[in-house]
Structure 1
Amino acid sequence: MKSRFGAAIVAAFGLGAGAAAAQTADPAAAASLTQTCRVCHGLDGVGTNPMIPNIGGQSAEYLSKQLQDFRAGRREDPQMSIIASDLTDEEIKALADWYASITATYQLPE
Structure 2
Amino acid sequence: MSFRSAGFRPTVLGSALALVLALSASAVMAQDAKPETATPAAVSTAATPAGAATAAAPAPAATAAAAKPGDATAGQAKAAVCGACHGMDGNSTNAQFPKLAGQSEQYIVRQLTSFKAAKRQNPIMMGMAAPLSEQDMHDLGAYFASKTALPGVADQALVERGQTLFRQGDAARGIPACMACHSIDGRGNPGAMYPQLASQHAQYIEATLKAWHDGTTWGDDAHAQVMPAIAKQLSADDIAALASYIEGLHGTDSQPASAP
Preserved contact between residue 6 and residue 19 of structure 1 (Cα < 8 Å): no
Superposed, which structure 2 residues align to 1:73-92 within 5 Å? 73-76=215-218, 77-92=224-239
Query: Secondary structure in 2 aligned to 1:43?
Result: coil
- Report the CA distance between 1:103 and its aligned residue: 3.8
Q: Which residue of 2 aligns with 1:8?
A: 93
Q: CA RMSD in A?
A: 2.9
The number of residues matched between the two structures is 101
- Report the CA distance between 1:19 and its aligned residue: 4.3
| Higher helix residue share | 2
> Alpha carbons of 1:24 and 1:84: their partners in 2 closer, same or farther (altered >3 Å)?
farther
Match for residue 44 of structure 1 among 160, 169, 185:
185
How far apart, CA to CA, are the structure 2 residues paired with 1:13 and 1:99? Answer: 13
Runs of 4+ with deviation above 4 angstroms: 4-7, 9-13
- Report the CA distance between 1:24 and its aligned residue: 4.0
Offset from partner CA, 1:51-81 (integer Å, 9 cap, x none): 1110111100011011111111123422101
> Alpha carbons of 1:85 and 1:13: their partners in 2 closer, same or farther (altered >3 Å)?
closer
How far apart, CA to CA, are the structure 1 residues paired with 2:187 and 2:239? Answer: 18
Query: Secondary structure in 2 aligned to 1:27?
Result: helix
Offset from partner CA, 1:63-108 (integer Å, 9 cap, x none): 101111111112342210111001011100100001101248xxxx
For structure 2, the residue ranges without an aligned partner over 5 or more in a row are 1-88, 103-148, 169-176, 219-223, 252-260
Q: Which residue of 1 aligns with 2:243?
A: 96
The residue type paired with residue 18 of structure 1 is L
Q: Which residue of 1 aligns with 2:150?
A: 18
The residue type paired with residue 165 of structure 2 is L
How far apart, CA to CA, are the structure 2 residues paired with 1:102 and 1:13? Answer: 14
The residue type paired with residue 90 of structure 1 is D
Q: Which has the larger radius of gyration?
A: 2
> Alpha carbons of 1:12 and 1:21: their partners in 2 closer, same or farther (altered >3 Å)?
closer
- Report the CA distance between 1:9 and its aligned residue: 6.4
How far apart, CA to CA, are the structure 1 residues paired with 2:155 and 2:99? Answer: 26
Q: Which moved more, 1:36-45 or 1:15-24?
A: 15-24
How far apart, CA to CA, are the structure 1 residues paired with 2:160 and 2:154? Answer: 14
Q: Which residue of 2 aligns with 1:67?
A: 209
- Report the CA distance between 1:8 and its aligned residue: 2.5
TM-score, scaled to structure 1: 0.74
For structure 1, the residue ranges without an aligned partner over 5 or more in a row are 105-110
TM-score, scaled to structure 2: 0.34
Preserved contact between residue 66 and residue 75 of structure 1 (Cα < 8 Å): no
